[in-house]
Amino acid sequence: FSITEIVPNFLYLGPEITSPEQLDILKSRSIRRILNMAEECDDDIPGLKESFVYCKIPARDTVEMKNVQDTLRTAVQVINTARRHYEPVYVHCKAGKSRSVAVILAYLVLSEKWTLKRAYQLIVKERPGASPNIGFVAELLKLE
């Protein structure tokens, strides 16, 4: 269970949560919100919805996924809400490599006004396995 801090004390990235012990790790980092971007990831871990502000935006990790920009914008709104409430947020998908990475890239581009290149360089430096699928990258380029 590898958590990567992208924006200090605020924005975290990683894989699916599969145990109450992993929830404890998130709590120990003062994370208050969880954004699940994976259609196939369950959200029935005991204590999850009781301990965190939880949001699921079911996305599929396929190049053919429809409405990618709308999905990314909705996820960015969730992160912006966390920012307004000063509550750190953990963004995840199945492996913490594609969908969640695309969302954090979209946040950095849309809300922080970073270039996509700068945002991508930061994420790859912090999380070397990051690899959003080419369909997401194409949509991110349109957002920039």
- Catalytic residue numbers, as ranges: 93
**Which whole-number Å values give the CA distances from 35 to 49, 95, 103, 138, 144, in the listed order?**
12, 14, 10, 22, 22
Total Cβ atoms within 10 A of residue 62: 11
Rounded Cα distance between 86 and 105, Å, is 20
By three-state DSSP, how is residue 60 classified? coil
What is the distance, to the nearest Å, from the Cα of residue 34 to the centroid of all Cα atoms in its chain? 8
